[in-house]
Homo-oligomer: A and B are copies of this chain.
């Protein structure tokens, strides 16, 4: 077990890799809200410790070891999230920040206990997959951003981006949860906003909001 900072870098890099984003100093700095210089500094350390492959000015990649390690941090994070949601009853806009701190503190034994209590969940409260102990990732349902669903088409919410609490809170307010059926009624070319039907109500949502909600068609 390394320190908190190392764990935060590694899990951030892991998540970027998973979402097929090219991992650059830049991107990490923004995610972690620190300077580029600090990131460069740390990348050297991570590289020296064998967690990442790093050459000056080039993209960053996790090594096998790094990926294994990072997947377990993400695993801990997501198990905490669902524990906090299902057992403790925190709303889905509160669990991420809490889990982000707890993920570095709990022992593996405790996380295993939590997982057992939850009966081995495969997805976190935002629909993100929980990596297994071996790093394997549960099969995700196909999905596209709600912003790309065509008018007249319906689908189910299978995932939402979990990095903005205000966004998540608003989703709750309009009754948008995982599993909910949504129909796109209209797209306004004026501002690219969408008129959607959810819970038998029609609601207008911005394109930006819609692009962070993921829908499984059929």
A residues at B contact (CB < 8 Å):
84, 87-90, 94, 97-98, 101-102, 104-107, 109-110, 113-114, 117
Contacts and interface: CB of A to CB of B under 8 A. Distances in A.
B90 A98 contact: no
7 contacts: A87-B87, A88-B110, A88-B114, A88-B117, A98-B110, A101-B105, A101-B106
A106 B102 contact: yes
B89 A98 contact: no
Nearest to A117: B88
A107 B107 CA distance: 19
B113 A90 contact: yes
Given A88-B110, A97-B107, A98-B106, 8 more contacts: A84-B110, A88-B113, A98-B107, A101-B106, A102-B105, A102-B106, A104-B105, A105-B105
Q: How many copies does the complex hold?
A: 2
Contacts of A88: 110, 113-114, 117
A48 to B, nearest CB: 25
A109 B87 CA distance: 15
B87 A110 contact: no
A94 B109 contact: yes
Nearest to A103: B105
A163 to B, nearest CB: 18
A73 to B, nearest CB: 14
Contacts of A89: 113
Nearest to A84: B110
Contacts of A101: 105-106
Contacts of A117: 88
A111 to B, nearest CB: 11
A172 to B, nearest CB: 16
A104 B188 CA distance: 48
A107 B110 CA distance: 19
A135 B161 CA distance: 40
Contacts of A102: 102, 105-106
A112 to B, nearest CB: 11
A93 to B, nearest CB: 12
